[in-house]
A and B are shown apart, each in its own frame.
Chain A
Amino acid sequence: MRRILLSVLLVVLVCSVGLAQEKVIITLAGHSVDTPLMQDVLARFVVGKIPGVEVVWEPITEDYFAFAMRTLAAGTAPDILYLDVYWAREGAETGALAPLDQYIAQSKILHKEDLIPVLLDAFTFDGNLYAISKDFNSLVIYYNKDMFDAKGVPYPSADDTWLTFLEKIARVHNPPEWYGICLNADAARFLPFAFAAGMPFLKEDGSAPFDLAAAKYAADWFTIFQRLGIGVTSADIGFGWPGAAFVAEKAAVVIEGGWLMPPIRGENPTLNFGAAFLPEVWQGGPRGNYLFTVGYAMPVNPPSGRPDLVFKVIEILTSPEVQEYILKSGHAIPSRKALLGSPFFQQVDPFAQATKTVFEATALPGTVPFAFGAVGGGNYMTPVVEALTLIMQGEATVEEAMNAAAAKLNLALGLK
């Protein structure tokens, strides 16, 4: 009897070991701020959907670019990693990311035609697609309706020009209760305005454009809020970023993307807010914006050893069901064309309306991907941030600061 029992136990043990060995662990590493959403999505839509597969979420708190480069070089990258349009070209150039074209060609769920073309282009290099865009975003003006009502100032709107917008900020400014605008010396916020004013990405001779009149005009406008004392930076008033000042109702206006909505929903859900397009340079004139997008990418040799299963997980994560769920939870705008007509956009709820504005802003002329080609985003933006800081603090004139920024970028470009 004892022998039989032992034999049965042995068989069970061997079987369970065998089963355990068959289980494939697929790691998905993303920004740590995505943890609640991604854990929710994985639990709802992924667990148990692919037999023998367990997807493990790895939140990354360090600089994601550094994490991606380090792990891709060491061959320890997760099965699925985020590829930001900001450094997608560099990601593709590593040669360590797998082109996804062959997988998408065989897929029954995911087809290139289902995705918004500009988001496909953002991750396509030399004819190869390196990531499936998971969502996208653009910049809008967030405004606190209560503050504008209290001061009797009309809300910011799509018809605003740089001048009318400035006037509204001056009128709504009400320190120390709240400040007109919270705006940092941030290149990602400034450059869309500079492009709208006519600044090219680089001059025709390939040199830095920051010393052009258009760039200086934009820098003058962008920094005027601080210089007039009607705007503050988030550091000035003890917040980590402008969005936090908006959520805490210390700023009447901020320029942010759809990523501001989860903090509002989580920390101040009754905030009476609205969203509008970035202002035009002049009435009926140009308007700039950035298209931000992050995609799911896969290394050439994923640690699970099962690229087919890894792609299946990416399929689920970008499926219509998951994307609709993410849209309704107000986290991001999906990358599937079909969802752009979702009834969600028709709701009067401020979150739905703001999401709609963010989405519509991406389709406006003048919206360009948040990418810097071979120049490198750090090389391009650091001199701009330094120039804007100097101007905002009154430590240099627009002329001096922007000329210095141009010289610094030229140096980084190898042009003296």
Chain B
Amino acid sequence: MRKRSDWASGFIFLLPLLFTLAVAFLYAFVRTVYFSFTDYNLFRITHFVGFDNYVQLFSDPRFMLALTHSLVFAAIVTASQTFFALLLAVVLNQKIRGLTFFRATYYVPCIASSVAITTVFVWLMNRRGTINWLLTAIGRNFPFVALGLAVVIAVQAIQVYWDRRHGLPARALDPVHLGIGLLAATVVTVMLAQFGVVRPYSMAEVAIPWFTTRQAFLGIPLPLLSIMMLNIWTTAPTMMILFLAGLQDVPRELYEVADLDGATPWQKLRYITVPAIRPVMFLVITLGLIGTLQMFDQAAITSGIAPLESVITLAYYVYWSLFGARTLPRVGMASAAALVLAVLTLVVVLLQRRVGFSERGWYS
């Protein structure tokens, strides 16, 4: 009797969530499945069309392009943001001066509006924008940078060789030697520049059309690549917070033992940190895959200036099918595309769980 009342009270507590799920998810999902087999246009259904929408979908080059873009986007962005987030988290997990400031600074891109950040990025990456200006500056000053680097390497090598020859334990990247090398590099570069021995490289202004182009780099359209960079920059800090939380749980003793064994920072990361935070890694990758497969807002904003075919993703294709053509909304097609996206997301997450990181912790 008591068990039954427990069950009832548990159910009552769950009811609000179940109701929300039933209305916002189950009902919407069933309707979407139904619409995907009809020619519904938001106002009326005139025909049950069977699998026509799905057949049309897979014969539409724009859909196939959106599918490819979404998969490439998800793979590259998830991998990159996970890597950078972990790197940031490990760095910010150290006891360094001004830790709170750095944590807050790195988190800023996450709390800013996606629309605002995308707009700023579009501005920075315009043909005569800051990014191209920076690339031009780097390109033109390359001879100075190369010369300085060569002097630093040469001076460092000489100093380390000298020390070791005299029995002193000099490290390859000894900071004091590095400082002397940098000083020498600055003096040599400035002098040679003054005498005109080294001159800026004469090159045309870099004018990469980051958004208004169909050019591709390694098969990825430049506009999509730009969105990828933007997305990694804005999402990595959120993932960093998750990693930071995970890192707090890694026992300090493990690192102390590793230090006693003479492990390098890389070995500690590879053999202690990463295995210890596997459940967080699973969460970060899963959230990353879901988020990137459903990326919409940045594609929508940049589609105003970039060719649609360069930025279209599956989520944006769904919207395009509804409102983009400026015909009565093709809800049937959009529903079919939305279901393909849902199934794809599920399959990719399950695949990742099977062959990549699972939620099972190191200790289990």
Contact = CB atoms under 8 A, between A and B. Distances in A.
Q: How large, as a class, is the contact surface on chain A?
A: 35 or more
A22 to B, nearest CB: 33
Contact of B328 (A70, A94, A411): A94
A65 B327 CA distance: 10
A374 B326 CA distance: 9
Interface string A73-106: 1000000000000110010011110000000000
A236 B128 contact: yes
B129 interface: yes
A19 interface: no
A237 B326 CA distance: 30
A87 B326 contact: yes
A63 B209 contact: no
A378 B325 contact: yes
Given A96-B43, A238-B123, A389 B213 contact: yes
A188 B171 CA distance: 66
A386 B308 contact: yes
B294 interface: no
Contacts of B324: 378, 382
A5 interface: no
B308 A412 contact: no
A321 interface: no
Given A382-B308, A386-B307, A393-B209, A238 B128 contact: yes
Contacts of A87: 326
Interface in B6-57: 42-44
A377 B326 contact: yes
Contacts of B329: 69, 73
A235 B323 contact: no
Contact of B305 (A66, A70, A235, A382): A235
Contacts of B43: 72-73, 94-96
Contact of A386 (B44, B61, B309): B309
A390 interface: yes
B214 interface: yes
Nearest to A86: B326
B122 interface: yes
Given A376-B325, A376-B326, A378-B324, A411 B42 contact: no
A94 B40 CA distance: 12
Given A235-B305, A386-B308, A379 B325 contact: yes
B325 A412 contact: yes
Interface in B102-145: 122-123, 126-129
Interface in A176-203: 184-185
Contacts of A65: 323, 326
Given A237-B128, A389-B307, A395-B215, A376 B42 contact: no
A42 interface: no
Contacts of B327: 90, 374-376, 378-379
A148 B95 CA distance: 63
A393 B306 CA distance: 12
A411 B123 CA distance: 34
Nearest to B209: A393
B322 interface: yes
B129 A233 contact: no
A162 interface: no
A393 B213 contact: yes
Nearest to B322: A66
B59 to A, nearest CB: 9
Contacts of B42: 69-70, 72-73, 94
A94 B123 CA distance: 39
| B44, B209, B325 — most chain A CB neighbours (10 Å) | B325
Nearest to A176: B128
A393 B309 contact: no
B211 interface: yes
Contact of B212 (A236, A374, A375): A236
Nearest to B309: A386
B128 A66 contact: no
Contacts of B122: 235
Nearest to A385: B307
Contacts of B126: 235-238
A389 B214 contact: yes
Interface of B: 42-44, 60-61, 122-123, 126-129, 209, 211-215, 305, 307-309, 320, 322-329
24 contacts: A66-B323, A69-B329, A72-B42, A72-B43, A86-B326, A95-B43, A95-B44, A184-B305, A185-B212, A233-B212, A235-B126, A235-B209, A237-B128, A238-B126, A238-B128, A238-B129, A372-B326, A378-B320, A378-B324, A379-B325, A379-B326, A382-B308, A393-B212, A396-B214
7 smallest beta-carbon distances between A and B, as pairs = A376-B327, A236-B127, A377-B326, A73-B42, A378-B325, A378-B326, A66-B323
Given A86-B326, A235-B122, A385-B308, 14 more contacts: A69-B328, A73-B42, A73-B43, A73-B329, A94-B328, A96-B43, A185-B212, A232-B127, A233-B127, A236-B126, A372-B326, A378-B320, A378-B324, A396-B214
